[in-house]
Amino acid sequence: MKIIAREIPPRTVWALEQAGVHPLLARLFAARGVRAKEELDDGLALLLPPDTLHGTREAAALLADAIAQDKRLCIVADYDCDGATACAVGVRGLRLLGAKNVSYLVPDRVVDGYGLTPPIAERVAASGADMLITVDNGIASVEGVATAKARGLQVLVTDHHLPGPELPSADVLVNPNQPGCGFESKSIAGVGVMFYVLLALRSELRRRGVFDTPAPAAGPPQGGPASPSGGGEAHEVASRGASKPQPKLDALLPLVALGTVADVVRLDANNRRLVAQGLRRIRAGAMPAGVAALFKAAGRNASVATTFDFGFALGPRINAAGRLSDMTLGIECLLTDDAGRAEELARMLDGINRERRDIEGGMRDQALLLAESLFAADGEGIEAPPPAISVFDAGFHEGVVGIVASRIKDRFHRPTFVFAASGAPGKEQELKGSGRSIPGFHLRDALDLVAKRHPGVLLRFGGHAMAAGCTVAREHFETFEKGFAQVARELLAESALTRQIETDGPIAREYMRIDLVDTLHREVWGQGFAPPTFSEEVEVVSQRLVGEKHLSLKLRHQGQPIDAIWFSHTEPLPPKVKLAFRLDADEWQGVRRLRFLVEGAEF
């Protein structure tokens, strides 16, 4: 492992400080590409305009016509947190905007697989729906869309995944990554895409005279307009027949923020604004009952909510439903306005998540053994992992393979796929794999190359640069394993196979304060806008294992004592070591103390 420091442009730091940004934050923001204080403005008026997202105008017209004709709308969701929040945003938003008949259907991970398949399309048609709307899926569902169209359904696809060589023949496609779309935020999550469609629909309904003047802003007053206009959305009101106040869509922002962070998409400026606005409302208590219940079930305080709560507390509990049970539980939790029902569902989700952790622990240990069996001695006789890792065990649960792949990737710093046997009836000889990648290796593109070199091996695949999924026949697993490793061998430079931790360098003693920990936690951090991580050489005064798997440390930092914890690490450290760490506050018997959360060590 190598610890490196980010470049921090001093002139930018100075300019941010002169504009009133806290000196520590100025340094952190400058290192992440922020050049002016204006870029830190999270007001909704600065959101990218909805009409720059290709297809939103057509989607708005399609939906406005459907609402006017009282058509029955059915949303087909995905079974992860992004899909669940996108579904909840779609159902809530469409009802707010006047749709009277809105239902949803979420595929079963094991039985149905991912996306809008022909059988799912048949089920939607059989339900009596007139229009099928996908959220967080559909861009690769060529056959599913064709089936829906053949059954007389109108189809609106909203998605953010990368398209394949053929686009589905939907009535309208809304996806920032489709050809010809100039929307700047290519990393927007599926829930964000659906939110943008609703902004465009509200504008279209206003243009048609359905709504009168925009409603007063709702929600907390802390900065930025609380009723989203979509950054340039027109506010003209048609004079004919206006009879209803314009609905406020800001109530959906906590769900947008949760799904955006949980899907680990890059937090560009537009995504950071969506997340910041959602967090602001949650901290003020303005959130759906299900979100409040999930905070309670996770033992987190919503009044000081952070992106870490989304990524490590709420998101996993919702995801657990799709992994081990039925994502309907997660969606219903996000849809209900009954606090008692929300708490009941949140407790169920918490229980499923505990079960998921137990299953994951056993799978992780077995996967580590399988991965280590692939190691080979290098020129110096030191065993090292191959350039990419693929493992399969008949006892693996397909709902947890993605999490285990992430753990293996983190341990060995290699692109990793973990496979489990399909549980779908009649497909017992198929293996479903989930993969996670490292910087410099585009996972979906790698799968595409494997598919071209080994025709017929990959039955299905799709995903992003850092996460992807695929299906192979059990008899072809070895071919996939070797083909995937060969692609990684060709595309990954040797330097990319050494894990690096980017840090913000040393932290001055004056910033070692609890109040600054709280200041840092209030900001929006995540994928592409990394949370502050510092690095320095420290003296290890003492160390011991806690819970048999965490290293508790007493350190001396800049001559001062400080406690630290390194989660999921058991190997002892030398007396002096360079650590990468984050600042955290540990509370014991009502007293909060500063401590380090160790991320890595170089020695």
Q: Are residues 154 and 266 in the same domain?
A: yes
My answer on whether 124 and 255 are in the same domain is yes
Same domain, 492 and 526: no
Q: Are 525 and 559 contained in the same domain?
A: yes
Instruction: Indicate the residue among 478, 497, 516 that finishes a domain.
Output: 497
Residue 603 has pLDDT above 60, yes or no: yes
Domain boundary among the residues 497, 530, 555 is at 497
- Torsion from C-alpha of 586, 587, 592, 597, nearest 10 degrees: 0
Shared domain check, 271 and 146:
yes
Is residue 363 situated within a structural domain? Answer: no
The average pLDDT across 323-348 equals 97
Structure confidence at residue 587 (pLDDT): 83
Are 527 and 434 in a shared domain? Answer: no
- Name the least confident of 63-67, 335-339, 380-384: 380-384
Give the CATH number of the domain where residue 128 resides.
Answer: 3.90.1640.30
Q: Which has more pLDDT, 224 or 273?
A: 273
Q: Whose CA is closest to 324, among 407, 259, 420? A: 420
CATH of the domain at 470: 3.10.310.30
| Residue 146: domain span | 44-287
Residue 589 has pLDDT above 90, yes or no: no
Contact 577, 563 (CB under 8 A): no
How confident is the model over 310-319, as pLDDT tens digits?
999 999 999 9
Write the CB contacts of 69 (distance below 8 Å, at least 6 apart in sequence). Answer: none
**pLDDT tens track for 127-182:** 999 999 999 999 999 999 999 999 999 999 999 998 988 999 999 999 999 999 99
Q: What is the full DSSP assignment across 250-277?
A: GGGHHHHHHHHHHTT----HHHHHHHHH
CA distances from 94 to 70, 120, 195, 219, 329 (A): 12, 22, 10, 20, 20
DSSP secondary structure, 180-240, as one string: T---S-TT--HHHHHHHHHHHHHHHHHHTTSEEEEPPP-S--SSS-SS--TTT------SS
Phi, psi of 176 (to 5 degrees): -65, -15
Segment 350-373 mean pLDDT? 96
C-alpha dihedral, 568 to 570 to 576 to 580, nearest 10°: -10
303: in domain: no
In-domain check, residue 365:
no
Q: Is the pLDDT of residue 590 over 60?
A: yes
In a domain, 317, yes or no: no
Tokens of 155: 């189809």
Q: Are residues 475 and 516 in the same domain?
A: no
Give the pLDDT confidence of 394-443 residue by residue, as tens digits.
999 999 999 999 999 999 999 999 999 998 888 889 999 999 999 999 99
Give the pLDDT band (50/70/90) at residue 28: very high
- Regarding beta strands 576-588 and 560-566, do their DSSP bridges make them parallel or antiparallel, or are they unpaired? unpaired
Label residue 231 by pLDDT band (50, 70, 90): very low
Cβ partners under 8 Å of residue 508, min gap 6:
none
Q: Which pLDDT score is estimated for 213? A: 62
Please state, rounded to an integer, the average pLDDT across all residues of the chain.
93
Does residue 186 sit within a domain?
Answer: yes
Are residues 119 and 68 located together in one domain of the fold?
A: yes
Do residues 432 and 565 both lie within one domain? no
State whether 113 and 141 are in the same domain.
yes
Is 358 among the domain residues? no
Structure confidence at residue 262 as a pLDDT band (50, 70, 90): very high
Do both 28 and 64 map to the same domain? no
* Domain stop point among 266, 287, 308: 287
**Helix, strand, coil content of the chain in percent (nearest 5):** 40, 20, 40
Q: Is 365 exposed, middle or buried (0-12, 13-18, 19+ CB in 10 A)?
A: exposed
Q: Are strands 73-76 and 102-105 parallel, antiparallel or unpaired?
A: parallel
Calculate mean pLDDT across residues 189-213.
Answer: 95
The residues facing 468 across adjacent strands are 435, 463
Instruction: Evaluate whether residue 335 is within a structural domain.
Output: no
Instruction: Kindly tell me if the per-residue pLDDT of 23 is higher than 80.
Output: yes
Instruction: Identify the pLDDT of residue 465.
Output: 87
DSSP 3-state assignment of 99?
Answer: coil
Number of domain units in the chain: 3
Domain annotation covers residue 333: no
457 and 511 in a common domain? no
CATH number at residue 22: 2.40.50.460
pLDDT band at 464 (very low <50, low <70, confident <90, very high): confident
d(CA 154, CA 132): 6
Rounded to two decimals, the pTM is 0.91
Burial class of residue 85, CB neighbours in 10 A (0-12, 13-18, 19+) = buried
Across the range 52-69, mean pLDDT stands at 98
